[in-house]
């Protein structure tokens, strides 16, 4: 229930709790609201440490995926995975990669499973896992390698039907677009964050909810840096104030940020803020973009 009964009582009896009002005022007073500007043109990327994956949206009818470039801190596997509710799911293809940069990596994939069912989801994921034995002749990624946390991860669009737009991670100057469930879609360009504000080009939401800006946590959405309510339908040029430093004054903006969409029927209530339950829900749409 996500505490909806409780939240409905609280928010419709004076709109918000004193704690929620205090937090909203604190955040409003501490975040700067100035326009952000896009940086120079660059290449699509999603970075975790020294690991980088560069991949473009593409047709999968040939049974092969082309990954433009993989930079790995150590030998390992480049895995192509199906989408599972906005996160990497079952593996449908793999290729070994050596330490350093490997360009134009061809990965054979299984377009159908053993029962003849379509394996291709509208969004696919390229992930990188370390394995010192990956370059051994006839090696395949074992269960341990498949369960390891990815050192880099990049979603990208496939030719599968289902309404999802191509999904890419964007570096400064480029635009990325994501659609995960029905008509939910986020389009955002890479940009600087010095002004403490992110501009999301458009958000198409199947229902009222929150647009959340999150840090990158090893190739996945991490802690929330900022939020903005969105109405059902198309929301254009959504400005989101974000925190750029912590209490000690240290920079907390990661090279890649994530824009995610969460449903909440109370998001448009006066002084409302996304509660813990909303923040932990599965995202209706998510997209990574470059930040600096």
How far apart CA 256 and CA 227 sit, in angstroms, is 17
- Residue 76 pLDDT level (bands cut at 50, 70, 90): very high
How far is the C-alpha of 45 from the C-alpha of 289, rounded, in Å?
Answer: 8
17 and 94: one domain?
no
Q: Are both 25 and 108 inside the same structural domain?
A: no
Domain boundary residue among 126, 157, 188? Answer: 157
Closest CA to 104 of 171, 36, 51, 56: 56
Instruction: Tell whether 255 is covered by a domain.
Output: yes
Q: How far apart are CA 156 and CA 164, in angstroms?
A: 10
Q: Is 261 domain-assigned?
A: yes
In a shared domain, residues 69 and 180: no
* Percent residues over pLDDT 90 in the chain: 38
Instruction: Please tell me whether residues 23 and 104 are part of one structural domain.
Output: no
Query: Do both 237 and 132 map to the same domain?
Result: no
Domain assignment present for 215? yes
For 187-216, the pLDDT digits (tens) are 888 788 989 999 998 898 889 999 999 998
Would residue 237 count as lying in a domain?
Answer: yes
Same structural domain, 209 and 236: yes
> What does the DSSP assignment read for the chain?
-TTHHHHHHHHTSSSS-HHHHHHHHHHHHHS--------------EEETTEEEEE-----TTSEEEEEEEEESSSEEEEEEEESSSSEEEEEEEEEE-SEEEEEEEEEB-SB-TTS-B---SEEEEEEEE-TTTTSTT----HHHHHSPPSEEEEEE-S-SSSPPP---B-BT-EEEEE-STT-EEEEEBB--TTSEEEEEEEEESSSEEEEEEEESSSSEEEEEEEEEE-SEEEEEEEEEB--B-TTS-B---SEEEEEEEE-TTTTSTT----HHHHHSPPSEEEEEEB-
Q: Would you say residue 282 has pLDDT above 80?
A: no
Rounded Cα–Cα distance for residues 155 and 170 (Å) = 11
Segment 54-58 long-range contacts (CB within 8 Å, at least 24 positions apart): 54/154, 55/126, 55/154, 55/156, 55/168, 56/156, 56/168, 57/156, 57/157, 57/158, 57/166, 57/167, 57/168, 58/156, 58/157, 58/158, 58/159
Quick one: average pLDDT of 51-57? 82
Judgement on whether residues 19 and 121 belong to the same structural domain of the protein? no
Q: What is the mean pLDDT of the chain?
A: 76
Do residues 174 and 285 both lie within one domain? yes
Residue 164 lies in a domain: no
Do 192 and 136 sit in the same domain of this protein?
A: no
pLDDT in tens, 5-28: 344 433 434 333 333 333 333 333
Measuring CA to CA, how many Å separate 108 from each of 55, 80, 115, 182, 282? 15, 9, 19, 29, 30
Residues 189 and 245 placed together within one structural domain of the fold: yes
Reported as a pLDDT band with limits 50, 70 and 90, residue 160 is: low
Burial of residue 257 (CB within 10 Å: 0-12, 13-18, 19+) is: buried
Q: Please tell me the total count of domains within the chain.
A: 2
- Asked if pLDDT for residue 51 goes beyond 90, the answer is no
Domain that holds residue 16: 4-39+169-290
Which value, to the nearest 10 degrees, does the dihedral of the CA atoms of residues 257, 259, 264, 267 take? 80
- Say whether both 112 and 186 belong to one domain: no
Tell me the pLDDT tens digit for each residue of 23-43: 333 333 333 222 222 222 223
- 49 occurs within a structural domain: no
Q: How confident is the model at residue 123 (pLDDT cuts 50, 70, 90)?
A: confident
For position 187, what pLDDT does the model report? 82
Reported as a single tens digit per residue, the pLDDT across 108-122 is 999 988 888 888 988
Residues 270 and 186 in one domain: yes
**Residue 283 resides in a domain:** yes
Domain boundary among 128, 157, 186: 157
Q: How far apart are CA 254 and CA 276, in angstroms?
A: 22
| pLDDT tens-digit series, residues 130-144 | 999 999 999 999 888
Q: Which two tokens stand for residue 118?
A: 């379509």
Q: For residue 44, tell me if it sits in a domain.
A: no
Domain boundary among 157, 186, 220: 157
pTM assigned to the model: 0.49
Lowest mean pLDDT among 52-56, 116-120, 163-167: 163-167
* Greater pLDDT, 275 or 184: 275
The predicted pLDDT at position 135 comes to 94
């Amino acid at each position: 229930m996500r505490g909806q009964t409780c939240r409905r009582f609280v928010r419709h009896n004076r709109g918000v709790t004193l704690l929620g009002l205090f937090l909203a005022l604190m955040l409003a007073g501490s975040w700067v609201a100035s326009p952000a500007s896009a940086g120079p043109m660059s290449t699509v990327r999603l970075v975790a440490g020294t690991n980088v994956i560069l991949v473009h949206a593409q047709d999968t009818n040939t049974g092969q995926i082309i990954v433009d470039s993989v930079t790995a801190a150590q030998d390992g596997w480049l895995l192509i995975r199906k989408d599972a509710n906005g996160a990497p799911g079952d593996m449908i293809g793999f290729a070994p990669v050596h330490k350093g940069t490997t360009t134009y990596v061809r990965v054979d994939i299984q377009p159908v499973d053993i029962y003849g069912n379509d394996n291709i989801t509208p969004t696919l994921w390229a992930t990188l896992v370390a394995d010192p034995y990956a370059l051994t002749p006839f090696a395949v990624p074992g269960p341990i390698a498949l369960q390891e946390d990815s050192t880099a991860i990049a979603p990208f669009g496939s030719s599968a039907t289902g309404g999802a737009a191509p999904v890419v991670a964007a570096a400064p100057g480029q635009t990325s677009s994501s659609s995960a469930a029905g008509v939910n879609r986020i389009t955002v360009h890479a940009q600087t964050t010095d002004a403490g504000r992110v501009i999301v080009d458009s958000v198409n939401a199947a229902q009222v909810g929150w647009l959340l800006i999150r840090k990158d946590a090893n190739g996945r959405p991490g802690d929330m840096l900022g939020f903005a309510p969105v109405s059902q339908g198309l929301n254009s040029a959504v400005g989101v104030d974000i925190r750029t430093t912590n209490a000690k004054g240290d920079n907390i903006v990661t090279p890649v940020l994530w824009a995610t969409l969460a449903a909440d029927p109370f998001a448009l209530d006066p002084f409302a803020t996304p509660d813990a339950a909303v923040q932990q829900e599965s995202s209706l749409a998510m997209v990574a973009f470059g930040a600096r």
